[in-house]
Structure formats: C-alpha cells, structure tokens
C-alpha cells in the first residue's frame, strides 16, 4: 500500500477484555483517526447485545463494525443466545459472503461463560487465560493486562489501566475509556 492510500485509511483503536473469576469486561478507547488526524476522541466502540447477556467491542471501520453487530445480534436470536454457535455461524458468513468479506474489523465478544475473538478470516479464537485485546494498541494492552492479572485488581481496573498504558505507547489510542460488563 502506498503512502497516499495509507493516509486515507481509518486507523486506531484498542479494545481489551478481561475475564477473572465470575466477572468479564470489555473496554475500548475512544479515538478515531484518519491518517495522522484525530477525527473523534470519544467514539463508543463497545456495546451490549442480547439484553445485556453479551458484550462486544470492535476495532476497525465503524460502519463495518455496526454491520457485524447487527449480524451477530441476528445470530444470537436465531441460536437462542448461544454465543459460541452464533460466532461460528457469523465467522462462516463473514468469510464466505461477498459483502461481508470486504468488512475491515475485528471483534471481541463475551458472555458469562466464554470470551472470543472474531476476525474476517473466519477465526473464532478463545483465549486460554481470559485475556484478549485487538487493535493498534492491542499488544500493549494485552501485555499490561497479563502483568496485572495475578494481582487483587478487579477486571474493570485491569482493563482500564491496561488501556491507559496502551494510550501512552500507541499514537492511535487515547485514554477516553468506555467499559461494558455483563450485568
């Protein structure tokens, strides 16, 4: 990709999920960047689905993410809120459907029992340790969350602090943090 095309792409976000004990949260920063310009600092990249039983966060193009949220919600309705089955079916569609294949986004999803990463390549990945992160600052947030996991901090505190650390390292991530948790 040449530099001119790169400047026209939307970049940046960091989303992290922490599952510890009976609690699970997904948190994201609020920055939307176009090239080297911050277009919005307080975007909401996390949301609750299925009457609060599923939480999700996205990294990538916003319109694409909204399409995926809608599709996931349809799958959850179709498969009686079975998150794993709904995500596998969404990933199949995402990989094979001509329209969905063009969507540029990744998602973290969680319910009371399972946490998953979804990608457009058909991946449905479950983390071994209850921690996952995506986006431009995802590796920073994941490393920070892992470092704090064995402390007495609650999932919400770990997610918040890991995003704050990522915002100090990744220019496409800010510290305007929004969190969703299973209620």
- Residue 155 in any domain: the answer is yes
Which of 13, 14, 33, 56 does the annotation list as catalytic?
A: 13
Nearest to 57 by CA among 128, 106, 12: 106
Q: Report the pLDDT value the prediction gives residue 114, as an integer from 0 to 100.
A: 96
> Quick one: CA dihedral 113, 114, 115, 119, positive or negative?
negative
* CATH number of 29's domain: 3.60.20.10
- Residue 179 in any domain: the answer is no
- Residue 180 in any domain: the answer is no
Contact 77, 90 (CB under 8 A): no
- Residue 183 in any domain: the answer is no
From first to last of the 183 residues of the chain, give the pLDDT tens digit.
Answer: 344 444 444 457 899 999 999 999 999 999 988 878 888 899 899 999 999 999 999 988 777 778 888 989 999 999 999 999 999 999 888 777 766 666 677 899 999 999 999 987 778 999 989 999 999 999 999 999 999 999 999 999 999 999 999 999 999 999 999 999 996
For residue 119, the cross-strand partners are 106
Q: Which domain holds residue 64?
A: 3-171
For residue 18, the cross-strand partners are 25, 131
- For 8, which DSSP code? T
Token representation of residue 112: 């009371």
The total number of structural domains in the chain stands at 1
Predicted TM-score (pTM) of the model is 0.90
Task: Give catalytic status of residue 14 as yes or no.
Answer: no
Q: Report the pLDDT value the prediction gives residue 101, as an integer from 0 to 100.
A: 61
């Amino acid at each position: 990709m040449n530099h001119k095309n790169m400047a026209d792409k939307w970049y940046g976000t960091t989303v992290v999920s922490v599952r510890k004990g009976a609690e699970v949260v997904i948190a994201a920063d609020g920055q939307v960047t176009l090239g080297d310009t911050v277009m919005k600092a307080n975007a909401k990249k996390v949301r609750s689905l299925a009457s609060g039983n599923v939480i999700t966060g996205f990294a990538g193009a916003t319109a694409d993410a909204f399409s995926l949220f809608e599709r996931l919600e349809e799958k959850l309705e179709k498969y009686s809120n079975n998150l794993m089955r709904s995500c596998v079916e969404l990933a199949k569609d995402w990989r094979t459907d001509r329209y969905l294949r063009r969507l540029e986004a990744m998602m973290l999803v969680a319910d009371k029992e399972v946490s998953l990463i979804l990608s457009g390549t058909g991946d449905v990945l479950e983390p071994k340790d209850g921690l996952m992160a995506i986006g431009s600052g995802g590796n920073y947030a994941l490393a920070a969350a892992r470092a704090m996991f064995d402390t007495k901090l609650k999932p919400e505190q770990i997610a918040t602090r890991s995003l704050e650390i990522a915002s100090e390292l990744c220019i496409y991530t800010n510290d305007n943090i929004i969190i969703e948790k299973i209620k």
